[in-house]
Amino acid sequence: MSARILIVDDEPPIVDMLAYNLKRANYEVLIARDGQQALDKARREQPDLIILDLMLPRLDGLEVCRALRRERDVPIIMLTARDSEVDRVVGLELGADDYVVKPFSVRELVARVKNVLRRATPQPAEAGQPVAQVGALRVDPASYEAQWQGQPLELTAQDFDLLYTLARHAGQVLSREQLVEQVWGYDYYGDLRVVDAAVKRLRAKLRQAASDEDLITTIRGVGYKLVV
């Protein structure tokens, strides 16, 4: 079955252009014209990915993203204006998987849709990939399960891949470029701040499981390491 993409934008030319090209790429397309309609459709239709404009009537894109992240981990690509850098950073911290700046290339956006959907889908473990056991943390790529002190961690596919990468190199500092290469893939060409946002979200989940113990350390100007 083809993936279902929800386009959320109040500009008809952009909606029409995106819908046409996504349908050509064999995706099923849903459309919402404002933030409240986006929430309603996302809850009712359960799309596989959402393309979300920030500037929306009734409820802005950041509020929509915040509300969706409290309910499920649907992949989100944000559409932002060229001068809205602060909004882009906030959007990534709220849980957006990627963003595209207007005006944008449709070919680039469709490529990002494919990449985000691929990254959001758990991939079968390669033969020989070992379980990463670091102290009370166990990360098993075969079952795509992670546990802290025997209790399962609720992680998205991206969370899992990031944690597994850090766990396999526990105690070593990994740069943002190294994490992008291993988690997002060679074909990722977005902002490296997506790594910072992803680490921040994963760190919060680990802190909750580990009674506020901080398992991921930031080495300023270098990268991140797992310390258990």
Do residues 184 and 194 lie in contact, with contact meaning Cβ atoms separated by under 8 Å?
yes
Distance separating alpha carbons of residues 130 and 117, to the nearest angstrom: 25
44's tokens: 């009712």
Largest CA distance in the chain: 54
**180 and 104 both lie in a single domain:** no
Measured CA to CA, the distance from residue 40 to residue 32 in angstroms comes to: 9
124 burial (CB, 10 Å; 0-12 / 13-18 / 19+) is exposed
Answer whether residue 26 shows pLDDT above 60: yes
Q: Count of domains in the chain?
A: 2
Spatial CB neighbours of 127, under 8 Å, sequence gap ≥ 6: none
**Tens digits of per-residue pLDDT, 159-169?**
888 999 999 99
Q: Does some domain include residue 125?
A: no
Paired residues of 219 in beta bridges: 223
pLDDT band at 83 (very low <50, low <70, confident <90, very high): low
Identify the pLDDT of residue 82: 63
Give residue 47's domain range.
Answer: 4-120
Tokens of residue 203, six digits = 């760190």
Same domain, 141 and 110: no
Tokens of 142: 């075969």
Residue closest to 73 by CA, chosen among 188, 202, 211, 181 = 202
Is 127 part of a structural domain of the chain?
no
Q: Residue 49 is part of a domain; what is its CATH number?
A: 3.40.50.2300
How does residue 1 score in pLDDT terms, banded at 50, 70 and 90? low
Pick from 188, 201, 121, 182: nearest CA to 157: 121
Q: Looking at the structure, tell me whether residues 38 and 63 fall in a common domain.
A: yes
Encode pLDDT of 99-154 as tens digits. Answer: 888 888 899 899 889 888 887 776 665 656 899 999 899 999 888 899 999 999 98
- CA distance to 8, 87, 150, 163, 205, per residue, from 200 (Å): 26, 17, 23, 12, 9
Instruction: Choose the final residue of a domain: 120, 149, 166.
Output: 120
